[in-house]
Amino acid sequence: MISFLKFTVLVTLVTRSLADDYVLNNKRFPSDFIFGVATSAYQIEGAWNEDGKTMSTWDNLTHARPELIVDGRNADVACDSYHRYEEDVALMKEVGVNHYRLSLSWSRILPTGFSDQINQPGVDYYKSLFRALKANGIEPIVTVYHLELPLALQELNGVLNESFIDWYADYAAVCFELFGDDVKLWTTFNEPKQICTGGYGYAYFFPYIHSEGLLEYQCAHNVLRAHAKAYRIYDERFRASQGGKVSIVLDAYSYLPASDSAADITAAETRMQFDLGWYANPIFNGDYPEIMKSRIANRSKGEGRDVSRLPEFTDEEKIALNGSADFFGLNVYTAALVAAMDDPPISNPPSKYQDMGVNDYQPSDWETTSLDWLKVAPWTIRHLLNWINDHYHQPDIIVTENGVCDNTGTFQDTQRVSYIQRYLSNIRDTMEQDGVNVIGYIVWSIMDNFEWAQGYTQRFGLHHVDFDSPNRTRTPKQSAQYYKNVCETKCLVDDDFECID
């Protein structure tokens, strides 16, 4: 557990980093540092019904309920990467990245959702992509499940079905067997919090079911058990021959106390545990955080329930979960401040916010972007990385996503350049001054793509994509040139002469 004194010192340090006179770190990153870019299958591939691929949850949603997407569009074609992957690999080579984080489409590989039928054209597509990456000196980091499910499985209640654990484990085993010779870095799930809190809690993501403090907890429980089962399958059947590593990608805000009061510091710790600890603690320590278990159990009892709304792991499941990650995959975009509050009264229906009993917010004077939630706060990542280091046994950490959006399509994306530069500088500070073992940084994204409920209205890419062109023309932005310089020099300042080895 991080000490009160160290927490206070870290808050002071990250606050100083906010100052206008903050100086960029000019020390080079290690020669083996991972510099990468990221995408996901649904957001870029297109070819939604080609070569044996069946309908996924997001195919169905965007066709049946286009009003849920800001611009009413879908990803039937998206960036057309299914047909243009060689062009995409060429973009990555030009930027100079050494890793590419991508995901596999479950419905492209297993069209029924089950492992008894493998779609060979889908397998061939990914094998061709991996060959192209290898030929250009780029290593894949592959996510098995990135926010979309075969529709056939969703119609069987999807993630909430107890059988999902076996469905997923079978699918993961197929992926390990088919692609494990080409892939040495795996992640089982991308952002399970978005699957569960977004999909079954606050209902801002597919399948848009509002069940705070109930189904969102059951969803997470199943995802965690599915992750553990897949990890142990890799351990037992594939690790010795393939020599890869397996983890999971967790998304988090950095939650900082709103003041230096003991109450706000405790509140920030509670918020972190209910956010990142909810998933990370079972994986790195074998069970849900104690503060989650106790608060939810007490509130469940007060609601007249015989058992806690937070499910319990069996002893066997705790053993399987504990240590089921070979590195820490972290998606981070922004942060918030947390203040203590009076404990909310017991009420039905319940909610996760009431379970936490804290108040979080983003100050109005933080730098804004084209999305309300994405405030620019690069100094806060230092606190988050230290928090992970202190709670989870000093793991190797890969920042698996970090980036910023715009809604103009500009090629002179100066805010994105500044965002990447400042986040990387604070990461380098954390490595150098705090001894946290960050081994990689991955920009979201190599190119503009379909941003889920935002459609094509928000652009995160280093490359502009013309979605009105049949060729889906890719054009580098200013940020692509900046990131290319970082990849080449391993340094953040413009003049290589000023870089320190």
Q: What CATH number did the domain enclosing 232 receive?
A: 3.20.20.80
Would 222 be classed as within a structural domain? yes
Closest CA to 232 of 326, 365, 347: 326
- Sign for the pseudo-dihedral over CA of 433, 435, 439, 444: negative
Asked if the structure places residue 362 within a domain, the reply is yes
Q: Please name the helix (run of DSSP H) or strand (run of DSSP E) that holds residue 167, with its range, or none.
A: helix 164-179
For residue 349, say if its preceding peptide bond is cis, omega within 30 degrees of 0: yes
Nearest to 253, CA basis, from 418, 373, 430: 373
**227 vs 189: CA distance, rounded Å:** 7
Tell me whether residue 494 is in a domain: no
Q: Residue 101's Cα: distance from chain center in Å?
A: 11
Residues 6+ apart with CB under 8 A from 315: none
DSSP letters spanning 72-103: S---SSTT-HHHHHHHHHHHHHHHT-SEEEEE
- The one-digit pLDDT tens for each residue of the chain (501 residues) are 444 445 444 554 444 445 457 899 999 999 999 999 999 999 999 999 999 999 999 999 999 999 999 999 999 999 999 999 999 999 999 999 999 999 999 999 999 999 999 999 999 999 999 999 999 999 999 999 999 999 999 999 999 999 999 999 999 999 999 999 999 999 999 999 999 999 999 999 999 999 999 999 999 999 999 999 999 999 999 999 999 999 999 999 999 999 999 999 999 999 999 999 999 999 999 999 999 999 999 999 999 999 999 999 999 999 999 999 999 999 999 999 999 999 999 988 999 999 999 999 999 999 999 999 999 999 999 999 999 999 999 999 999 999 999 999 999 999 999 999 999 999 999 999 999 999 999 999 999 999 999 999 999 999 999 999 999 999 999 999 999 999 999 999 887 678 998
> Is residue 496 assigned to a domain?
no
Q: Let me know if residue 500 belongs to a domain.
A: no
Query: Count of domains in the chain?
Result: 1
Domain residues for 105? Answer: 4-489
pTM of the model: 0.96
| Distance from C-alpha of 150 to C-alpha of 272, rounded to nearest angstrom | 32
Alpha helices per DSSP H over 303-347? 315-321
Please confirm, yes or no, whether 148 is among the known catalytic residues.
no
- In sequence order, the 6+-apart residues with CB closer than 8 A to the CB of 43 are 75, 78, 79, 445, 449, 450, 451, 452
Phi, psi of 31 (to 5 degrees): -65, -25
Say if 427 falls within a structural domain. Answer: yes
Position 452 in a domain: yes
Residue 467 lies in a domain: yes
Distance of CA 411 to the CA centre of its chain: 26
Closest Cα to residue 86, out of 94, 74, 78? 94
Active-site residue (options: 45, 148, 401, 451):
401
Q: How crowded is the C-beta side of 406, counted as CA atoms within 13 Å?
A: 18
Output the CA angle 145-150-152, nearest 5 degrees: 145
